[in-house]
Amino acid sequence: MTPVQWSLAQLASLIGAKLHSTQPERIVRRMASDSRTIQTEPALFWALTTASGDGHRHLEEALERGCLAAVVSVQGWADHPVAGLDVLVVDDVWSALYLLAAAHRAAFNGTVLAITGSNGKTSVKEQLAHLMADPTVVRSPRSYNSRLGVPLSVLQFPLDASVWLVEVGVSEAGGMARFTPWLKPTHGIFTGIGDAHDEGFASRAQKLREKRSLFEGVTALVVPEDKDHEGMQSPLCSEGGGWIGPDGQRFAQAQDSQAERSNAFMALTACYMLGRVPRNFETRPCGPLRLERRPARWGGSLLIDRYALDEASVEEALGLLAQEDSQTRTAVIFDADFGRWQSAIEGWAKRYPMIQIDLAHPQDSAPGIAQSGAVLLKGHGVEAALEARLARQHDSLVEIDLDALEANLRHYRSLLPPQTRVMAMIKANAYGLGAVVLARALERHRVHYLGVAYPEEGRELREAGIRSPIMVLNPGDPSFELMLRYRLEPELFSWERLAAFAEAYGRYPEALGDVLVHIKVDSGMHRLGFEPHEGLAVAQALAKLPGVRVASVLSHFAAAEDPQQDDFSRAQWDAFSRFADDLEGELQIKVWRHMANTPAVARHPWAAGDMVRLGIGLMGASPVASDAKQLQPVVQVTTTLSQLRKVPAGQGISYGSTDSAPHERLIATLPIGYADGIPRALSNGRGQAYAKGHFMPIVGRVCMDMLMVDATNTGLRVGDRVELLGRHILLEDLAKSCGTISYEVLTGLSPRLPRLAANGL
């Protein structure tokens, strides 16, 4: 099929926009409404205004991340102009988006099948696409059925497709009117009415009328099996719990829930209604597509649905749980409003007597889960609750406070000029804390870049759904094609790396648009980088690579935290600036310059440049003492007291029987040691633990899996939680006690310690 594309001039004509562009024939193939997504492929950015924000505030970011142009409102553009950005100026951006979708729909002469209802829309859509097994049938991605999702889905559909499958959802009265004037489906599937979004309508009857209004004028309408009288007669005949199609095919439904049976019925009916022969019924995608099944860590199986939370979707999930091969079945519904579920649970208890159904608040740690059997977690926030519960089953735990991370980010932003961008360094799995979790948190707070050490770290982030630009500090020669494929941006620091990248770029088979690279300068650290006098030569080499764009020039301070070396830091900046000036002058472009790390942000405001690279400071530590006092601890390592014993005066502790005392002591054993990342250097009183207002010295030698502390006169009991690192034992202090740096302490925390990321720990 032919990919959808428009020129900027065509778009301006279709939506009645005033075009400001020096390249009106530039081609647009993709739409974007989130400025964080654009770097993966050049796109047209729609500056939409929503309850959560104004897209015009992110126009500069959209340009920086590679958008071709933006659709803006007259007032929004007046308030937030961005030099160098091509724009299509309209009265209202939302209206323009729907106008373009309507024009694209009007140009399509094939079948348009719309699907709406309270539940099952995505499941029916995916099953129908599977049964038709036709590459010319296109469908809305995932559950794109919202005010924004419907037009964006339609705009990606090729005009030479045979069928468009469009999923449509509304959550409030009047919402369907956004689509009915222009979507004009030829066929429809109405999955039925449930209690989802009841609060958006005056009555269930009003909601029914609202949803059914989408199907005015359709050739045929499919409804659930028990509602045949409301729509066309299904071509399926019931037999033995399954169906027989008009072509004689038999479709068995022995093991499915009632909701799944209904979804399969509607998908099969629609397939025949469109004149197609269903294929591969047995391998269709079954079950709620948002429900994830995984092995449980305690044994048995685990079903998780983080999204829909209404009676129909819960009942569907309970039906699947009832089919699990397990003697113990538990369901936990997470919702702050317990009252809404009481009558439903009474009915489910009679229908599913084999299932224990519990209610929990969203912040609870999945109470009621058995240590074996099948478990269903339903509602919002269940993943965090599950992880919290499972993590806290371990004696020792690494906790990451995301609120503290955000506070530290705000602190550093307050030290920077408003236009200076932030790159968050999350190399080495975010210093051992979990790169994906931290990247998601940092992306929510709109850091401009993420920095990793190796391409594989970047690929892991991309495959986890991270969309922010990612710079790779140390790309190896064989990895350039992987980086191009995942839109990772390499740091080029030598002639050999530059030549290898040029070769990989030249043989990469796909048209990529602009490819961004970052040029490293050795300004005096003597680790990696081009020489300061090579800026002109590097620029000339890059000029021979059409499509390669220099995003930034960077270097690294060697001793920004040391006042005795401030003159050297100034000399480094001057050398770096000479290189950047030469490169910019030769290429006739402006590139971002960044050299400041955490201590440089704190001590050298003159070195803020266009971007800074923050690492350890975000984690709550800084080599600059005055800066460290402004930070909040992000990482906490705790364990559980295993045993208490009295040790007579004069007797030593642990291997070597060292660290004796002239008095009797109460010694506490903690199940954590150097294999978990607690350095052996903390032995014999050089380190300490904290609990219940008491600092307790580590006594004897730290063992591989255990260590001992002096708990005399503390009142501690077996099972009490003890802090080894956190708000009382600061990261920098612990590092000094070990004779090392905070980076080494964090990266040394063992993977066998569970990580728990949460807010406000």
458 and 385 in one domain? Answer: no
Element (H, E) at 401: strand 397-401
For residue 200, pLDDT over 60 is answered with: no
Give mean pLDDT, residues 718-734: 94
89 and 130 in one domain? Answer: no
563 and 435 in one domain? Answer: yes
For residue 72, pLDDT over 70 is answered with: yes
For residue 372, pLDDT over 90 is answered with: no
Are 754 and 704 in contact by the 8 Å Cβ rule? The answer is no
The CATH number linked to 725 is: 2.40.37.10
pLDDT for the residue 602: 96
pLDDT tens for each residue of 437-448: 899 889 888 899
Within 419-520, where are the H helices?
427-432, 435-444, 455-463, 480-485, 495-507
350 and 242 in one domain? Answer: no
Task: Answer with the one of 58, 81, 99 that is the final residue of a domain.
Answer: 99
Where does the pLDDT of residue 558 fall: very low under 50, low under 70, confident under 90, or very high at 90 and above? very high
The CATH number linked to 219 is: 3.40.1190.10
Give mean pLDDT, residues 570-577: 97
Question: What does the H/E/C string look like for 105-143?
Answer: HHCCCCEEEEEECCCCHHHHHHHHHHHHCCCCEEECCCC
pLDDT for the residue 40: 47
pLDDT for the residue 648: 96
**Cα–Cα nearest to 712, from 656, 645, 651:** 645
For residue 322, pLDDT over 70 is answered with: yes
Listed in sequence order, the residues at least 6 apart from 625 whose beta carbon sits closer than 8 Å to its beta carbon are none
Which range has highest mean pLDDT (118-122, 295-299, 590-594)? 590-594
Q: How far, in Å, CA of 461 to CA of 486, rounded?
A: 10
For residue 52, pLDDT over 80 is answered with: no
Least confident of 197-201, 281-285, 481-485: 197-201
472 and 620 in one domain? Answer: yes
pLDDT for the residue 143: 66
**Cα–Cα nearest to 414, from 617, 616, 560, 565:** 617
pLDDT for the residue 168: 92
Where does the pLDDT of residue 379 fall: very low under 50, low under 70, confident under 90, or very high at 90 and above? confident
23 domain residue, yes or no: yes
Active site (catalytic) residues: 427, 655
pLDDT tens for each residue of 77-122: 999 999 989 999 999 999 999 999 999 999 999 999 999 987 788 8
Least confident of 206-220, 282-296, 529-543: 282-296
Domain total for the chain?
5
Where does the pLDDT of residue 239 fall: very low under 50, low under 70, confident under 90, or very high at 90 and above? confident
For residue 39, pLDDT over 60 is answered with: no
642 and 608 in one domain? Answer: no
pLDDT for the residue 593: 97
602 domain residue, yes or no: yes
262 and 151 in one domain? Answer: yes
pLDDT for the residue 297: 55
275 and 163 in one domain? Answer: yes
pLDDT for the residue 145: 77
Cα dist from 94 to 36, 73, 147, 229, 275, whole Å: 19, 9, 10, 38, 36
261 and 163 in one domain? Answer: yes
Give mean pLDDT, residues 398-427: 92
Least confident of 71-80, 144-153, 640-649: 144-153
610 and 517 in one domain? Answer: yes
Give mean pLDDT, residues 28-52: 76
288 domain residue, yes or no: no
For residue 738, pLDDT over 90 is answered with: yes
291 domain residue, yes or no: no
For residue 255, pLDDT over 70 is answered with: no
Task: Answer with the one of 580, 611, 628 that is the final residue of a domain.
Answer: 628
| Greater pLDDT, 591 or 479 | 591
pLDDT for the residue 647: 96
Tell the residue number behind the tokens 């109460």, with chain if given.
Answer: 666
293 domain residue, yes or no: no
270 and 175 in one domain? Answer: yes
295 domain residue, yes or no: no
289 domain residue, yes or no: no
Residue-number span of the structural domain to which 16 is assigned = 6-99
Task: Answer with the one of 255, 283, 311 that is the final residue of a domain.
Answer: 283
Q: How far, in Å, CA of 273 to CA of 656, rounded?
A: 82
Give mean pLDDT, residues 580-586: 96
The CATH number linked to 448 is: 3.20.20.10
564 and 620 in one domain? Answer: yes
Where does the pLDDT of residue 511 fall: very low under 50, low under 70, confident under 90, or very high at 90 and above? very low
Are 521 and 532 in contact by the 8 Å Cβ rule? The answer is yes
290 domain residue, yes or no: no
